[in-house]
Every structure is written in C-alpha cells, then in structure tokens.
Structure 1
Amino acid sequence: MTTVSGLPTYSEFVSNPEPAPPRPLKRWPFVLIIALGAILVLAPIVTGMFPRAVKGEAMIDAFEPYMTRSSIDGYRHDLHVLDDARTNVLTLRQNGQQPGSFDRVDQFVRDYPEINYHMSGMIGAIDDNRQNYQKLAEVPPFGTLPWLFALPGALLVGAGVLGYRRAQAGKQAVVWRSVAGLAALGLIAVPLLGGLFTASTAAQPLINDLRPILTHDEVRKLQGYFVTLVAADGELNSRYTAAVRVAHPEADLTGINTLETRWQPMTSRFAALIGAMNDNVRNFDAVVALNESTRPLGFGAFRGLGFFYLVPGIFVLAATVEGLRLPSRVLARSAASRDAKSPGGARK
C-alpha cells in the first residue's frame, strides 16, 4: 500500500514528542550557602581560635575562686593586717622599744609601701572587673565556640553542594534547603541564647585591666614580694617579738600579734592567687591574640563575636527562602501544563 505524498502518516498522529529536559532552578542561593559555610569553617582555623578558645576557657575556670566579693574583701583585709603590722614596728621604733637591728623586718618596713601599691592595684583591677568576668563566665564554654562555627559551616557546605546539584537538575532540593535552614537557625540562636552580645562589651575592659598584671615580669615581682613577707614574718615570729618582750614587757604588739594569727590563711590565699596568675599568663596571652586577630578589620574579635554568628545565619536563612521561589518562566510553564491537561484546556 502506498501513501500519498505530502500527507501526514498515522504514526505522526499517535507519536508523543520527547519531553523537554527540566530547566535548572536558581543556583546562586546554594553558591552563597557554600561560600558562607566555607568561611565559617576556615575562620576559626585561620584565627587560631581552636587552641586559643580552649586556653581562654581554662583561664576563666582558674580565676573563678578569686572573682568573688568575699575573696576580694579577704585580700584587702590581709593587706590591712600587713599594714597594721608595719605601723606597729614603726611605732616601736619611734618609742625606742625595738632592741637592735632586724634585717628582714627592716626590709619589710622599707619595701611594704611598694608591695602594698602593687598588690592593692592588682586586687583593685580584679574587683573592677568582677561583673565583666561574670558576663564572660555565663557564655557557652569558650572551647565550644569555634566548633559552633565549624560544624554549622560544614553542614552548610555539604547542603549547598548537594542542593546545587538538585537545583541544576531542575529540582527544588527541599531536604538540603531544610538542612541549611536549620544550620542558619542554630547560628542565630548561639549569640541570642548564649549571651554573646552582653559578653562582647565585657571582654575588652577586662583585657585592658589585666594586661599589665598577667605578665611573667609582674608575676615574678609578686613572687619576690611574697618572699619578703615570708622572711619578715619568720623573723618577727622567731626573734623580734621575743626581743621586744624581754626588753620592754609593756610594749604594744597588737598589730604584730594579729599578723601572726592571720599568717597561715593569708599566705595560703596569696600563694594560690599568685600561682593562678603564673599558670595563666600564657592562657591570657592566647586570649589577647584571639581578640587581636580581627584588629585589621578595625575591631577586636570579642566585640564582633555575636555578629560573626548572627550575620551569616541571617544570610543563609534568606538564601534558603529565596531559593524556594520559582522563576516566573517556570511558574508560567507549570500553569500552561495544567491548562493543557484540564478538560477545558483540551476543548480549547
């Protein structure tokens, strides 16, 4: 059977045309998610935040016993006791009641104004920063902060890559958008629930006030003062008071006697504080280095810490929502397809 040339064949009536491949959906939101995720992963690595944050956490924990009202009042009372003992010695000298010369006591009398000046300044700096310290102590443990950058960042990179591939294939990638959205909400929650914005204003004053104190030179100076006090107390207790009592039984030794009754707990407290300072000089240096790591941007790292979580979180959340919006041409194609399949559309 021959066909008439120029007329359509039967197969042309019944054959279905090949469906057009799906057009890619928006991919730039996933590019943004990948970029932000990579920044979040790299930032704590580049700034050395992982080891430095751990050292900062160790320093905060170590100074907790010395940042209380009762502890500071105790140190000030101890200095007052030392001052009264020195005044007692000076009074005995003026009254001619000190028999002979006592080298260690003389050094204590001579050096104590400097000792009192430095130790009072140290206690004052601690007292002035009790509230700043408390704000920092209430944030999530410092050692976890870099992980709260890196882990959401890794999730964003993975979700961004996989979501990009789905969008390239013309699919919505709802699962990967959801993963990115959850990571974004986590980033937003860290500063809001963790008190980072409150703590950001506390870090710089604390660093400024402790910087002159937490140095190896300053700790060695305090250790030298401690040696002077120990030597003076030993001579007061072993020779001085006995000699005064023998030569002048009526002499008033109230200040010296008070020092003797308070000496053991006093030395224990001062030794603990000086030991904590000595152990945390390097930890403090690490905190300062971490804070200075963003100085080229014009601010300290602690000042911007809350925003380092909040801003990427907001951008990622916006990207996930934007990516769900279909392009106008896709909406028009979908509407035309629905009309064609509807009975009314077929009649048209």
Structure 2
Amino acid sequence: MTTVPAFSELPAYSEFVSQIERAPDRVVARWPFAVLAALGVLLVAAPIVTGMFPRSVQSEAMIDNFAPYVTGQSIDGYRSDLRVLDAAHANIVAVQSTSPPPGEYPRVDQFVRDYPGIRSDISGMLDAIDNNRGNYQKLSSTAPFGTLPWLLALPGLVLIGAGVFGFRAAGRGSRATAWRAVGALAGLALVVTPFAAGLFAAGPAAQPVLDGFAPILTTEHVRRVQGYFVTLVAADGELNSRYAGAARAARPDADLSGITALENRWQPMTSRFAALVGTMNDNVGNFHAVEALNDVTRPLGFTAFRGLAWGFLIPGALVTGLALIGLRPSRTGSGRSDSTGGTA
C-alpha cells in the first residue's frame, strides 16, 4: 500500500506572485507652510520695528483733535473774526492819520505796527487748514489709525501658528487642510482690510496734509502765534479802558464802529482762537510722530502712507495663494515592489 507524503509546509506566496502592489506613501509639500510662518513673522515685526504702534495712536489723536477745526464753518468763523480785527485796525489808523493821537497808547501803537504781520501769519495758517479740508476728511474717514498695526500683527500671529502647525502636519503626510484654511482666512483678511478701511483713498491724501501742516505745527510757530495774543489782549484792554473814549472826545465824528465791533466780539473771538492755538500746541509732538512714521519707508523709494494699502494687499494675496498650494498632494513610492522589496 502506497502512502501519499504530507506537505511539510505551505508554498510561499512569492512562488505564485512575483510582485506585490504596495500602497503609495503620501508626500505633502512643506515649504508653503514655512513661507507662511516667515510672512507672519514679518507682519508682526514690521509695526514693532517701525514704531507703528505708538505713532499710529498719535496719528489718530491728531486727526481727532483737529476735526472740529477742519470744517468750512469753522474756517469761515475764523475769517470773520479776522475781518473784525481788520476793521478795528483800520479805525485806529484812520484816527491817527487825520489828527494827533489822543494821548500815548503804547499797546495800541504796538498793535498797529504788528497787525499786518499777525494777520498775514494767521491768514496763512487758516489757508493751510482750509486747503487741506478734503484730504483731511479722507484721512478721518478711514478706520482708526490706532487699529492699523493690530490689523497687521494679529493676522501675522495667526500665520505663524498656521505655518508651524501646518509644517509639522505636512511632515506626517497630512494635507493640513485646516491649517491651510486658517492661513487663507488670514490672507483674505489682509486683502479686504485696505478696501474696508479706506486706505487707498487715504494714502495719497496724507502727504498734502503733512506738507500743509508742517509750517504751522512747530514749537516756534505756535509760540509766535501765542505771542500775537499777548499783543491783541493788551491792545484790547487799552482800547476799551482809555483809547476809545479819548478818541470819541477828540473826534466826535470819527468812525469807531470797528473798535466797537471788536469790543462786542472779543470774548467769543479770543475763545475760538485760543482753542485752535491750544490744539496746535498739544499736537506738535503728535505731528512729528506722524511725519516720522511716514518717513520710515523713504529709503525704499516711497512714503509709508502711500504704501500702506499695498502693505496689506500684497502680503494678503501671497498668503492666500500659498495657503492653497498643495491641496492635491503628490505621491511617491507608487511603484510595485518585487519579492526583494525593491521598487519596480
């Protein structure tokens, strides 16, 4: 009787199949996340290095402080006050030119001598403000300047996080879709900001305002204007207490209507001018900070306010594009392994 030998072992799978299909490994590009993180660092560093945080707050304070004075109604009121001073000055000159002065009045005499220069300076100051009303309104209609550095830095922090965590996830073969979405949202926020905040309109308006206000927002000019009020206050006191009465007695037919109008309007007039000069004095430092902020980018060939909108838009477009790169991952190792584990 013949026995059938038993198989000592099962045949190896490789005896039947010479090649094995292996699942491909996913490889996700990590460099976009590195660039996102680098852009985030730049967005956070830029407002810090340029001093944008304190200077933008000072810019906002200056815009708010001058708002009541950069209006047509306000400028018209100041010009009307100047016309009252013109009339009073004309009355005094007329009295002194047609007859001997009715006594000695050194403060009135100083007013007569100094008034042409006073009027020219104050009128030029009002012209500088009036000529820039339109540009000033464009600046004041933007988002508060104090928020602008935060609108750069906060998306920058988000991008740093998205870049770092996305880079790590991509290293594990993940598409890091969530971190891409976070980066894209930060990029879109940067793109939208200059349009929503009105920065494209404000950029060209800033330089004319700075040029127009530069001659009047200096310590020297403010102190000179304050000196004018010393002259005017002294002259008004002498006009009211002595000069007007003496002039009427010496020249009953003299036209003193301008002096009378000045007496009637003196209190509200000086209050308005004092408020304007006080605001100028309080904002000399703020104005210098705005100038310094605007000059930060001059070595690059443009001023900061002109480039401000593009400083949001260009990084935002780059970020949005980078965040979307690599959503379709490439695959390597998709070849077939032979029995020795090599790739065909």
Question: CA separation in 2, counterparts of 1:20 and 1:47?
Answer: 52
Instruction: Tell me if 1:78 matches 2:81.
Output: yes
Question: Aligned ranges for residues 186-205 of structure 1 at < 5 Å?
Answer: 186-205=189-208
| 1:217 matches 2:220 | yes
Q: Aligned residue for 2:341?
A: none
CA, structure 1 residues 42+12, in 2 after alignment: closer, same or farther (shift >3 Å)?
farther
1:55-74 aligned within 5 A: 55-74=58-77
Of 123, 128, 136, 2:126 maps to: 123
* Aligned residue in 2 for 1:163: 166
Out of 18, 42, 46, the position equivalent to 1:43 is 46
The answer (yes or no) to whether the contact 2:216–2:222 under 8 Å persists in 1 is: yes
- Give yes or no for the alignment of 1:139 onto 2:114: no
Which of 258, 262, 265 is the aligned partner of 1:262? 265
SS, match of residue 171 in structure 1 = coil
Q: Secondary structure at the match of 1:170?
A: coil
- 1:10-67 CA-partner distances (Å, limit 9, x unpaired): 79989xx897784430112111211111110000000000000000000000000000
> Hey, what does 2:188 align to over in structure 1?
185
Which amino acid in structure 2 is aligned with residue 189 of structure 1? V
Between the aligned partners of 1:10 and 1:136, the Cα distance in structure 2 is: 78
Matched, 1:24 2:27: yes
The 3-state SS of whatever aligns with 2:175 is coil
Deviation at 1:83, TM superposition (A): 1.1
Q: Note the C-alpha offset of 1:333.
A: 4.5
Q: Is the 8 A contact 2:22 2:334 kept in 1?
A: no
The alignment partner of 2:306 has SS state of coil
In 2, the alpha carbon distance for the partners of 1:333 and 1:108 equals 96
For 1:176 and 1:9, locate their aligned partners in 2 and report how far apart those are by CA, in whole Å.
46
Contact map agreement 2:200 2:309 (CA 8 A) in 1? yes
- CA contact under 8 A between 1:44 and 1:149: conserved in structure 2? yes
Question: For structure 1, which segment, 232-241 or 18-27, has the greater mean C-alpha deviation from structure 2 after superposition?
Answer: 18-27
The answer to whether the 8 A contact 1:97-1:248 is kept is no
Per-residue CA distance 1:94-142 (angstroms, 9 max, x = gap): 1216311210000000001110111111000000000111000011101
Separation in 2, partners of 1:108, 1:20: 97
Q: Name the residue aligned to 2:155.
A: 152
1:227 to 215, 226, 230: 230
How far the C-alpha of 1:246 sits from its partner, in A, is 2.2
**How far apart are the structure 2 equivalents of 1:287 and 1:137?**
14
Query: Aligned pair 1:249/2:249, yes or no?
Result: no
**SS of equivalent to 1:184:** helix
SS in 2 for 1:161: helix
| 2:243 paired residue number | 240
> Are 1:215 and 1:281, in contact at CA under 8 Å, matched by a contact in 2?
yes
Gaps of 5+ in 1: 337-348
Say if 1:219 and 1:277, in contact at 8 Å, map to a contact too.
Answer: yes
On the 8 A contact 1:97/1:251 being kept in 2, the answer is no
**How far apart are 1:149 and its partner, in Å?**
0.4
Aligned to 1:286: 289
CA contact (8 A) 1:196 1:305 kept: yes
Contact 1:191 1:306 survives alignment (8 Å): yes
SS of corresponding position for 2:206? helix
Distance in 2, matches of 1:238 and 1:115, equals 23
Q: One-letter code of the match for 2:253?
A: E
2:211 counterpart of 1:208: yes
Q: Give the aligned partner of residue 339 of structure 1.
A: none
Taking a change above 3 Å as real, the CA distance of residues 325 and 10 of structure 1, as seen in their structure-2 partners, is: closer
Per the TM alignment, residue 326 of structure 1 is displaced from its structure 2 partner at its CA by 2.4
Q: Indicate the percent of aligned positions where both proteins have the same amino acid.
A: 60
Amino acid paired to 1:50 = F
Q: Report 1:292-307 matches (<5 A).
A: 292-307=295-310
Distance 2:158 2:15 in 1: 51
Report the TM-score when normalising by structure 2.
0.91
Aligned residues between the structures? 329
Give 2:176's aligned amino acid. Answer: A
TM-score by length of 1: 0.90
Is 2:88 aligned against 1:104? Answer: no
TM-align CA RMSD: 2.3
